[in-house]
Structure 1
Amino acid sequence: MKTTEPSLTGLKNLKSRIKYIREKMDELKIDAYFIYYLPNVSYLTGFRGSSGFVIVTHNKSYFITDSRYEEESKKEIEEEFEILIHKGLTQTLKKARFMRYIKRIGFEKDWMPYGVYKNFEKELNKKFVPCEDIVRKIRIHKNDSEIEKIKKAQRINEKIFEEIIDIIKPDKVREIDLAAEIEYKIKKSGGEVPFPPIVATGSNSALPHAKPGKRIIKNNKPLKIDMGVKYKGFCSDMTRTIWIGKKPSQEFIKIYQIVLDAQNKAIESIKIGMEAKEVDGIARKHIEEKGYGKFFGHGLGHGIGIEVHELPALSPLSKDKIEEGMVFTIEPGIYLPNRFGVRIEDLVCIKNREKFVITKTTKNLIKI
């Protein structure tokens, strides 16, 4: 008899998420599920350290870390989990009473290294079963509290962006200086830096993921800034391309408008149940019709949450659909090699079956 897949959109709290994991364990015929990937561990437990694991059995859930995080664990870890402090992970698991009743242990096949998996299997004398990343699927759908954290992260992001704009002095500031200032302000605000900021001027802006260098930010050049903030474990992400000077070139104005129109058309089209690749296609079609299709080489957007890149993927090959509780970016771009690039990136959320744009920073061309 075919089983019905539980609705992921209804998993709004930890108990329902653990229940879903156990239902998947039944389907996979495993006695426990070993969560090795740290962002998944953090998502379920609230842990913010650098070394921790979760094992979910049919009766109980365990969080395992070392003595460095013993005190933090008492404060951070959700009550659902029994905390185990190890002095050697394999030895601790060998001695753990709950392991006596476990024969088959599932694990995230995309994250646990092959050597680690084979060593666990040998040392613990258990069958380790490669499985899909169950938690990553749950993470797609955010509850109200998680959405509020993303919004707060974006509000901090926007405030810092405004401060950064105010300190740009043409011919006096380098890309790396501005990137360092962004990171400093994020940390000073109480947030974390989820990814190195992209600060790219002139022809460097034509590189989608340019690394800030010693290039001086000069007048009559574009400047692309891609930055994010992590707040209480959840990320934001925003890109703006601005013009240094009061009179942008006609070509830059033209490209900027094409990118902006592509983004607006994509956002306007979004509705629940829509194929993510269809949203990508709407922006991509507009850019192609304007003759710049070959200069838009990446996907339109990505999910955001505990990590800055999550599901859903909004790209031509995506198999995802737009669903309740999703938060994702919409970030079309045109990159003209050795000349300049333009990208505009906003965060969009699906809540109560409606879409809304989280990002509030203006998309009107900023000129300094």
Structure 2
Amino acid sequence: MATTTKRSIPLLKHLLRHTQTQTRPVTYMPRPGDGSPRTVTLIPGDGIGPLVTGAVEQVLDALHAPIIFEKFDVHGDMKTIPSEVLDSIKRNKVCLKGGLNTPMGGGVSSLNVQLRKELDLYASLVNCFNLPGLPTRHENVDIVVIRENTEGEYAGLEHEVVPGVVESLKVITKFCSERIAKYAFEYAYLNNRKTVTAVHKANIMKLADGLFLESCREIASKYPSIKYNEIIVDNCCMQLVSKPEQFDVMVTPNLYGNLVANTAAGIAGGTGVMPGGNVGADHAVFEQGASAGNVGKQKIVDRKTANPVALLLSSAMMLRHLQFPSFADRLENSVKRVILEGKYRTKDLGGTSTTQEVVDAVISNLD
């Protein structure tokens, strides 16, 4: 009898856990009008962009999510973002976009950088985490990289001093450094994160990165419940590939953040599964979290085998931003179930599935 009782205890615990996960939240009370459809600007972009944004459209339609897309044709070889696109984003406050190709050299500025500056999308957020069922070199990775998005080397202040000599200016301001540090600590506080780590190169760039560190320290003093660390960027890269599980929230200047986010994404499962977005005081643009591979190779476009997971998870972030948490949960849970089952995966995840096959699997797993 005692043996039977002992054996039944683990089963009861499992049933209790299962019952708890199925319980609907009782603390969310929407405001009147919260269910009204929201218009979102959609930029399919270049390369695999139309494939993965099309995947999002299909899944959100199957979810019956209250989203209406306002679609615009924008490509990276354009000189500027068309005014009607900017007007749409300013009016709708939220945008979903595929990758935009940035020509190398030639004096053509990046439309991605233009968009961030024009809308003052000062914070880039990339969430790099292990997905259950997807094998990686490291376990227990759950890193949020928060990157200053409007200054630093990306200010684009370059000129040729004399033939053969180019000067590129790195701009760091106290205002922007404090603003991104505050966002990082607010994010940690609101999401029950324990540690914020500032990434820098103040041992060499003593004034510029020194100012960034001073700003982070000042903001950190206002959040005593959150541990604050600092790490030099080259040591940070080494630590990321050896012990990534030690990091929680990371706050960085512009260029370092791009490198750190893509490295962390590669460690946690690849750029094809990491969600992200860019946010400012008034607007937000959601896209694939890691910039590497967000346009993709032509053969992936031709074979229609682009991985839609990153943008689907970014869309879940967008739905939460729009205060549609139930739709976000259903979408995210369905994607995670597909990854866990392992039957439908694109080539970058070790499978042979097409984009459409992954989309169909996600739709069939919606609860």
- With the shorter chain as reference, the TM-score category is under 0.3
With a CA cutoff of 8 Å and minimum separation of 6, indicate the structure with the bigger relative contact order. Answer: 2
Specify the structure having the higher radius of gyration (Cα): 1
TM-score (norm 1): 0.24
TM-score (norm 2): 0.24
